Chains A and B, each alone.
Chain A
């Protein structure tokens, strides 16, 4: 904050509070949003510092300590291969964050430009983009992911092995790629619809006509005048959608078509524990409840954050 001396000799604050800073201020004064932000921040920290934070390796087996209850040595207990559950959950956060970030990039990278183009240019661009989005909407998302995982993925795997990339085929990177592409490709349609609707509303505002009258190039009108004023609901939807992505990754892995064992994913942990022996030992509730609750907490956190953003970004609020 710089101070400037006015001609009258009064010190004027040179920089006013920008709309962006007011949004952050409002968000930080909203308790549920703060909780959501805290959980998300903790998850991201776990993801970044998983090697430092996890007390054991995520795949270190020790059958002599299998199926232990939570204890000081293993806070969340151990699974039936004697792997430390806490370590697996911390590493699972890394898988979840990686998938969330990549799917978000794919969703945004497809949804925002396509939706903005459809809204701004109209005509055949709009027809093509919106009908494509309709087709994706008409198709059950989960089924689409199954389809990709069951048909395209084995084909790619076979091709990779035949091409001599055995290491790549066995590495698990392809599992990530399939989950990310599948969720990314179905997720953009909703964003594109929302961006288009917003752009349609904003492009008729007088300041956009004003920018046209000034002679601002089209791409700058979209990037500087339309998108910044159109993205508030998109940010909210995206933030709520991130929880869904985490959940989707969870159920895909749970069903065995997502990340493959021994990759540490919350969905894998749930399916390992629930599928293999929870039915035999129903008293060992921590096996399923702990990873389940953590996944649920993350989904709630993103929703709280989305709600908070929705309020903070509301232009009708004054503080």
Chain B
């Protein structure tokens, strides 16, 4: 495998996003932080799909938004095309957005209900001065065709479409500027199961066609396994394991990953019978006061004294299999 530094499209170093909790009306003072994302290090190679999984509230979506600077990170660096996005401001950052886009979870909430489909997909072309007038109209119709919609839909409004169709509109909007990198923030979890496969196939097709790089955020493990090249597992603001998808599913090292994977039903009654569930006890701790040491130690079946004191290092356990655990 080539050195990831050479082929990395995007590199995240020490990314943190804390949301302050404030009190007071005129003189606001910070009383605590919600540590949504608490120090992430990873790189995404050009043309690959990095899956990001974890349970609700672990900071997956915040990670996606912090990378795209939709939430300005509290600390860390996001190196994209040789520039640190965290340091970019105003117009410079706005221009960079041409190269990185996002597809959203809720196709009902992510399209402005007062704009026509043509205006929605044409807007990125307009604000980045890519196309105007007739050229813009043609480009929009072409984009509709690319995502499998009828180009005659340009003058319709989002409420006239189904969830799957709306998600295709969202995909067309993200593709309009011909980006290199797309954050897919749970793009299928709000869709019917029958539609999910269509959108997944569309995303895969587009990736091949336009050489796209995806950060694919999801909580559905089987979908992530299908679409991703590598997978990162998040727990309470930290990545606990990151490796090739087959290595992760066949040989999970972190106890949290093991527990997660043991929850996936196996579509074979004989094997399913023998599946051993690792049931985690307790709730996810609050990200306002995460546990000391390893964030997972309060629920870990392998917990040791060391876990309560020291935060485990995120290290390479061989063959680019990264894991943060004292017990491994």
* CB of B136 closer than 8 Å to a CB of A: no
The 8 A CB mask of A118-134 against B (1 = contact, 0 = none) is 00000000010001000
A228-B114 in contact (CB<8A): yes
Q: How far is the CA of A229 from the CA of B159 in the complex (A)?
A: 14
A215 interface residue per 8 A CB criterion:
yes
A163 within 8 A of B: no
How many whole Å from B101's CB to the nearest CB in chain A? Answer: 6
Q: How far is the CB of A18 from chain B (nearest CB, A)?
A: 7
- Nearest Cβ on chain A to B249's Cβ, whole angstroms: 31
Known: A16-B155, A215-B124. A206 touches B113 (CB 8 A): no
Interface segment out of the listed B91-99, B213-221, B289-297: B91-99
Please tell me if B150 contacts chain A, counting CB pairs below 8 Å.
Answer: yes
The docked-state distance in angstroms from the alpha carbon of A183 to that of B177 is: 48
A215 lies within 8 A of B127 (CB): yes
B102 touching A210, Cβ below 8 Å:
yes
Which B residues touch A16, using CB under 8 A? 116, 155-157, 160
Whether A166 sits at the interface, judged by CB under 8 Å, is no
Q: In the complex, which residues of chain A have a beta carbon less than 8 angstroms from the beta carbon of B5?
A: none
CB-defined contacts of B96 to chain A, threshold 8 Å: 215
Residue from B97, B101, B110 within 8 A of A206 (CB atoms): B110
A19 close to B113 (CB less than 8 A)? yes
Q: Which residues of B contact A161 (CB under 8 A)?
A: none
Closest B residue, CB atoms, query A8: B150
B173: which of A18, A214, A220, A315 is its contact (CB, 8 Å)?
A: A214
Contact with A along B113-152 (1 / 0, CB 8 A): 1111000000110011000000000000000000000101
The distance from the CB of A62 to the nearest CB of chain B, in whole angstroms, is 57
Does A6 sit at the interface, judged by CB under 8 A?
A: yes
Contact of A207 among B68, B111, B177 (CB under 8 A): B111
Cα separation A14 to B116 with both chains bound (whole Å): 12
Count contacts on B: residues with CB < 8 A to the other chain: 36
CA distance A225 to B119 in the complex (A): 12
B183's closest neighbor in chain A, by CB?
Answer: A213
Q: Interface centre among A20, A206, A211, by most B CB within 10 Å?
A: A206
| Contact residue among B102, B105, B109, B115 (Cβ-Cβ distance under 8 Å from A205) | B109
Q: Is the CB of A4 within 8 A of B102?
A: no
Q: Is the CB of B127 within 8 A of A220?
A: yes
B157 to chain A: which residues have CB within 8 Å?
Answer: 16, 18-19
The complex places the Cα of A100 from the Cα of B97 at a distance, in Å, of 45
Q: Are B101 and A209 in contact (CB under 8 A)?
A: no
B37 to chain A, nearest CB (A): 16
Q: Report A-chain residues with C-beta under 8 Å of the C-beta of B105.
A: 206
Contact B155 A215, beta carbon cutoff 8 Å:
no
0/1 string, A192-227, CB within 8 A of B gives 1 = 000000000000011101111111110010001100
Q: Does B112 contact A (CB under 8 A)?
A: yes
Q: Is B106 an interface residue (CB 8 A)?
A: yes
Q: Which residues of A contact B113 (CB under 8 A)?
A: 19, 207, 229, 315
By a CB distance below 8 angstroms, the chain A residues around B173 are: 210, 214
Chain A residue with minimal CB distance to B97? Answer: A215
Known: A205-B109, A209-B70. A215 touches B94 (CB 8 A): yes
CB of A279 closer than 8 Å to a CB of B: no
- In the complex formed, the residue of B with least CB distance to A212 is B70
**Chain B 77-95 interface residues, beta-carbon cutoff 8 Å to A:** 94-95
* Cβ A215 vs Cβ B152 within 8 A: no
CB distance from A100 to the nearest CB of B (A): 27
Given A207-B111, A207-B112, the answer on whether A213 and B155 have CB atoms closer than 8 Å is: no
CB-based nearest A residue for B91: A217
Contacts of B111 in A (CB 8 A): 207, 210
Q: Give, as a whole number of angstroms, the nearest-CB distance from A166 to chain B.
A: 48
> B95, B104, B110, B112: which contacts A215 (Cβ < 8 A)?
B95
Decide: A214 and B101 in contact? CB cutoff 8 A. Answer: yes
Known: A16-B160, A127-B26, A211-B123. 17 other contacts (CB 8 A): A18-B116, A18-B157, A19-B114, A131-B26, A206-B109, A207-B111, A207-B112, A207-B113, A209-B104, A210-B102, A214-B123, A214-B177, A215-B128, A224-B112, A224-B115, A225-B112, A229-B113
A residues bordering B, Cβ < 8 Å? 4, 6, 12, 14-16, 18-20, 127, 131, 205-207, 209-217, 220, 224-225, 228-229, 315
Task: List 29 A-B residue pairs with CB atoms under 8 Å apart, sorted by A's residue number.
Answer: A16-B157, A18-B116, A18-B157, A19-B113, A131-B26, A205-B109, A206-B109, A206-B110, A207-B109, A207-B110, A207-B111, A209-B110, A210-B104, A211-B112, A213-B68, A213-B101, A214-B123, A214-B124, A214-B173, A215-B94, A215-B95, A215-B97, A215-B124, A215-B127, A216-B123, A217-B94, A217-B127, A229-B112, A229-B114
